[in-house]
Structure 1
Amino acid sequence: MFRSNDQWALNRQSEAFRATMAQLSLLLVATVCATLADHFDSHVLTALSALLYGLTVVTGVVIQRRRARAHWQAHRDAAETVKSLAWQYMVHGGPFHSTVRDPDGLFNQQLEEHLRGLRRIGWKEPSREPGTTPGVDAVPARNTLWDPASRHEPDDPRHPQITRAMRAVREKPFAVRKDIYLRDRVLDQLSWYGGRAVQARRSAAVWSSLTALLTLLALTAAVVRSAGIASGWDLSGLLAASAATGVAWVETRRHHPLSYAHALVREGLETQRAVLSQSVTEERWPQAVAETEHLMLPQHTDWLARFGG
C-alpha cells in the first residue's frame, strides 16, 4: 500500500504542477499576443490572444475537475500513514508496545481507522482506481535505508501490509530496535527535511528576486510611458503579468511556507533524536516514538506551513 500510494502521489503531484504551469504559460503568452496586437493593430494577433485566453479558461476547468492536487495530498497522506504505522509496529512504538496482545490485528485496525477519513474525501486504494498497474515499483518521495513497506513480501494473507522484515525487527531486543529506528528512520528523515528546507529556501529566493525585478521593470515602463519617452510600446502590463505569473508559481510550489515548515520539523526531530538516544527508557519508548512519528506526518507539516506563509 505504501509503494502504490507513493507512486500515485508522485504522479498526481507532477500532473498538478504541469497543469498549473500550462495555465500560467497560456495566460502569459496570451498577454504577449494582446500587447503585440495593440502595438501592430493586428487582427490575427487579437484573435490568437482571445483563443489563448479561452484555452486558459478551459485549462482551469479541467484542473478543477481532475482535482490532481487533492488526490496527490490524499495519496501522500495514505502512504506516509502506512509508513509511520509500519515503523511503530516494528520498534514497539505508539500503540504497538511490547505488552499488546495482538499487534497484527491492531495494525490492521489502526490502518483502517486512518484510511476511513481519507475515503470520505474521495481517496481510493490505487488498485481500485482506473488505469492502475498493480505491482509497479515506486520511487519513494522520502527514501529510507530500511523501507518497512516494501523490503520484503508479506508472509500472512490476513495481514497483507505486514512484511517479513517488519516482523523480524519487531522480534529483536529493545537496544537493537532502538538503534535501527534512530539510524534508519530518524537520521534519514533529518537529512531529508534538512535538504528540502535548503532547496525550498533557495527556490524562494530566486523566484522572489525574479518577481521583484519584473515588478520594478513594470514600474519603470509605466513611468517612462507616462513621461512620453517611449509612447510606442506599453510594456507595463506585460511585465506586470509576468510578475504575477511568478508570484502564482511561487504560491503553487509553496516555497516560503515549506522552507519554514521543513526547518521546524528538522529542529523537532533533532530534539527527539537526542531524547530517544539518551534519556528514554523502554517503558517510555512507545510514547516517545509516537511523538516522533507525529512530527513527520504530512498533516503536521501542512499545519506548520500555514504559519510560514
Structure 2
Amino acid sequence: MTPAPSTMLNDRDLPPLFRSSDQSALRHQGDAFRSVRTHLVVLLLATTAAMFIEQASGRIMAAFAAILYGVTILLGRRTSRRRSRAYWQAHRAAAEVVKTLAWQYMVHGGPFHSRVADPDAMFGERLEERLRELRKCGWEDTRDGIGERGMGQVTAQMRLVRSKSYAARRDIYLRDRLLEQEVWYKNRATRAHRSAARWSTLTAALTLLALSAAMLRTAGLLGGADLAGLLSAAAAAGVAWQEVRRHGPLTHAHTLIEQDLETTRIAMSTTVTEAGWAEAVGEAERLMSPAHTEWLVRFGG
C-alpha cells in the first residue's frame, strides 16, 4: 500500500507556505480534538461523582461533583472562544490551495496550460486571491516581507519540473501526485474503518451493559447504585467522540476518492492526450480538494 519512493519531488520542493500552513493545521487539529476529549472525560467524571453522591451523600463528593460540572462549563466556553476547529479547517484549506496550485503550475495543468505567457505571475495572482478569502475564515499569514508573497512562493524545483517535456511531467504527476494520493486515501479509509468498528463495538457493549444494569436494578439485585445511568453516559460520550472524528463518513468519502483517483490515473496514463492534459489535471485536483471531501462526508454519515 506504499508507493515507490519519489525520485523527483517531496514537500520541501513545494512553496514554503504549504509547509507552514500544514503544520499550523495539524497543531489546531490536535488542539481541537484534545479539547473535545478533555470535555467529555471531565463530564463523565462529574457524572460518576454525582452517582456516588446518591450512595454516600457526602459533602466532599458533592463539592467534587459540583467542581467538575463547573469545569465542564468553563471548558466549553474556552473551546468556543479558541475556535480551534475553524482555524484547523482554514489552515488545512490554505495548505491544500497552495499544494494544488503548485502541482498545476508544475505540470501545466488547469489554468496553467502551456499557452500561458507568464505562469509565475498567474500563480501569484491565483494564490493571493484564494488566500484573501481564507483570511476571513481564520487563516493566519506567517510570511515576512513582500518577497515571500505571490510569485515568491514559486520554488526552483517547481520551475525545473515545468520546463520538462510533456512525457516527463506526465510521469511525475502520475507517480508523485496521483499514485501518492491514491495510496494516502486508501490508507486513511482503512484506518477510519478500523476506528469506526472499534468505537461502534465499544458503544454497543456499554449500551448492553447499561441495559443489563437497569434490569438488575429493577429486580432489586443491584442495590441503589445507578450504574445504568453511568454506563449510558459513557456510551453517549463514545457516540459524541465518533461524531467529532467522523470515522464512518470519512471511510465512505476516502474510499470513493481513492477509487476515483485510480480511475483518473489510469485514464490519464492511457487515453488522455497532451491537448486534454490541462483539463484532466484540473479535474484530478478537484477530486483531492477539501471541499470535495467535505461534500462526500455529508452523504457518508
Q: Work out which of the residue numbers 261, 277, 280 in structure 2 matches 1:288.
A: 280
Name the SS of the counterpart of 1:183 in structure 2.
helix
Partner of 2:240: 248
TM-score scaled by structure 2?
0.92
Judge which range, 115-124 or 61-70, deviates more. 115-124
Q: How many residues align?
A: 284
TM-aligned CA distance change 1:5 to 1:158, over 3 Å: closer
After superposition, the C-alpha distances for 1:217-274 in whole angstroms (9 at most, x for unaligned) are 1111111111212223220110000001101111111101111100011011011001
Moved over 4 A (4+): 155-158
Aligned AA (2:287): L
Name the SS of the counterpart of 1:160 in structure 2.
helix
Partner of 1:197: 189
Between the aligned partners of 1:197 and 1:50, the Cα distance in structure 2 is 41
TM-score scaled by structure 1?
0.89
Q: Is the 8 A contact 2:87 2:137 kept in 1?
A: no
Match status 1:117 vs 2:133? yes
After superposition, the C-alpha distances for 1:119-151 in whole angstroms (9 at most, x for unaligned) are 2223221348xxxxxxxxxxxxxxxxxxxxxxx
Could you tell me how far 1:157 is from its partner in structure 2? Answer: 8.0
Could you tell me how far 1:26 is from its partner in structure 2? Answer: 0.3
Q: Is the 8 A contact 1:200 1:256 kept in 2?
A: yes
Give the superposed CA RMSD: 1.6
Aligned AA (1:100): V
Q: Is the 8 A contact 2:123 2:150 kept in 1?
A: no
Judge which range, 41-50 or 55-64, deviates more. 41-50
Q: Is the 8 A contact 1:211 1:247 kept in 2?
A: yes
Aligned AA (2:27): N
Between the aligned partners of 2:64 and 2:271, the Cα distance in structure 1 is 68
Between the aligned partners of 2:121 and 2:253, the Cα distance in structure 1 is 34
After superposition, the C-alpha distances for 1:78-123 in whole angstroms (9 at most, x for unaligned) are 0011000000000000000001111011101111222222122232
Judge which range, 3-12 or 231-240, deviates more. 231-240
Could you tell me how far 1:165 is from its partner in structure 2? Answer: 0.3
Could you tell me how far 1:210 is from its partner in structure 2? Answer: 0.3
Partner of 1:275: 267
Aligned AA (1:79): A
Could you tell me how far 1:9 is from its partner in structure 2? Answer: 0.3
Q: Is the 8 A contact 1:201 1:259 kept in 2?
A: yes
Q: Is the 8 A contact 1:294 1:300 kept in 2?
A: yes
Between the aligned partners of 2:133 and 2:111, the Cα distance in structure 1 is 19
Q: Which has the higher helix share?
A: 2
Partner of 1:263: 255
TM-aligned CA distance change 1:157 to 1:189, over 3 Å: closer
Match status 1:47 vs 2:63? yes
Q: Is the 8 A contact 2:272 2:280 kept in 1?
A: yes
Q: Work out which of the residue numbers 212, 217, 231 in structure 1 matches 2:223.
A: 231
Partner of 2:42: 26
Between the aligned partners of 2:150 and 2:209, the Cα distance in structure 1 is 64
Partner of 2:7: none
Aligned AA (1:68): S
Q: Is the 8 A contact 1:8 1:126 kept in 2?
A: no
Name the SS of the counterpart of 2:275 in structure 1.
coil
Q: Is the 8 A contact 1:31 1:49 kept in 2?
A: yes
Q: Is the 8 A contact 1:94 1:286 kept in 2?
A: yes
Identity %: 55
Name the SS of the counterpart of 1:229 in structure 2.
coil
Between the aligned partners of 1:53 and 1:291, the Cα distance in structure 2 is 50
- Structure 2, gaps ≥5 residues long: 1-16
1:140-219 matched pairs, under 5 angstroms: 159-219=151-211
1:69-108 matched pairs, under 5 angstroms: 69-108=85-124
Q: Is the 8 A contact 2:125 2:150 kept in 1?
A: no
Between the aligned partners of 1:50 and 1:126, the Cα distance in structure 2 is 42
Name the SS of the counterpart of 1:240 in structure 2.
helix
TM-aligned CA distance change 1:245 to 1:158, over 3 Å: closer
